[in-house]
Amino acid sequence: MRILYRISDGSYKKERYPHATKGGCLDNFLKHFPREEITIYADNVKEETFTWLQSYDCDLKRSNGGSSAGGFRIVFEDALKLPDSEIVYFVEDDYFHLDGSRQAMIEGLERVDYITLYDHVDKYIPAVMGGNPFISEQGGEETLVFLTKSRHWKLTNSTTMTFAATVQTLREDETTWRSFTQGSYPQDFNCFIELRKQGRTLASPIPSLSTHCEPRWAAPLIDWNNIT
């Protein structure tokens, strides 16, 4: 597995859990994934941020994407240089993870093309209430539930830019990813919907193994205030 972790000083302004700082999220991540698998991309960071990141003893690269989509384009290019069989996990700098994340991801990718560890709460909010447009008035999506050794999963229609796939899958879907990551902001939702139309599958664990650290969209049924 190769983990491409993107961190920047210039994030979008959103409400976050108080302990979900850049350092808090990175410290949490390193509890669940081995350092030797991680490359940290320091995108347009200040010198003091880069010095701080050096203390983590991970593979560290400076990048100059200058935006969320720009930063992704850089790591995507590096991912395509890896062997086809390699699993790549693209990670943004504002997520918490739970025990078992790495093993579950490997299990999931034996069954589907793409994996997210984030059971996004938008999959339970009806479209008429501002949720995902594919969610029914009853608050659910049409899906298939399956079981791996350690986890239940469900097929889902979309996720964020924190996801995993094999290099072979990324290479085969390269045109689609390039199309939806132009400009400054990646169109993650539209990209996964297009991939689904092309026959690709995406699964998320139930319950969640990670969350975006914006309380409004936190994965359900877990008290993320107590996760460090």
Structure tokens at 19: 């302990």
- Whether the predicted pLDDT of 66 surpasses 80: no
Structure confidence by residue, pLDDT tens digits, 199-209: 999 999 999 99
- Whether the predicted pLDDT of 48 surpasses 80: yes
- Whether the predicted pLDDT of 75 surpasses 80: yes
- Whether the predicted pLDDT of 13 surpasses 80: no
Query: Which of 56, 58, 69, 59 has its CA nearest to residue 8?
Result: 69
44: left (phi over 0), alpha (psi -120 to 50) or beta: left
Model pLDDT, residue 12: 66
The conformation of residue 40, written as its DSSP 8-state character, comes to: E
Q: 70: helix, coil or strand? A: helix
Q: How many domains does the chain have?
A: 1
- Whether the predicted pLDDT of 42 surpasses 90: yes
Q: 51: helix, coil or strand? A: helix
Alpha carbon separation from 140 to 137, 147, 154 (Å, rounded)? 8, 19, 11
Model pLDDT, residue 126: 92
Q: Which domain holds residue 11?
A: 2-226
CA atoms within 13 A on the CB side of 81: 6
The conformation of residue 116, written as its DSSP 8-state character, comes to: -
- Whether the predicted pLDDT of 10 surpasses 80: no
Confidence of residue 131 (pLDDT cuts 50, 70, 90): confident
Q: What is the CATH number of the domain that holds 175?
A: 3.90.550.10
174-177: long-range pairs with CB below 8 Å, 24+? 174/80, 177/76
Structure confidence by residue, pLDDT tens digits, 162-190: 999 999 999 999 999 999 999 889 999 99
Model pLDDT, residue 11: 67
Range 28-42 average pLDDT: 97
Model pLDDT, residue 65: 85
- Whether the predicted pLDDT of 224 surpasses 70: yes
For residues 191 and 188, give the distance between their C-alpha atoms in angstroms, rounded to a whole number.
5
For residues 20 and 93, give the distance between their C-alpha atoms in angstroms, rounded to a whole number.
9
- Whether the predicted pLDDT of 97 surpasses 90: yes
- Whether the predicted pLDDT of 79 surpasses 90: yes
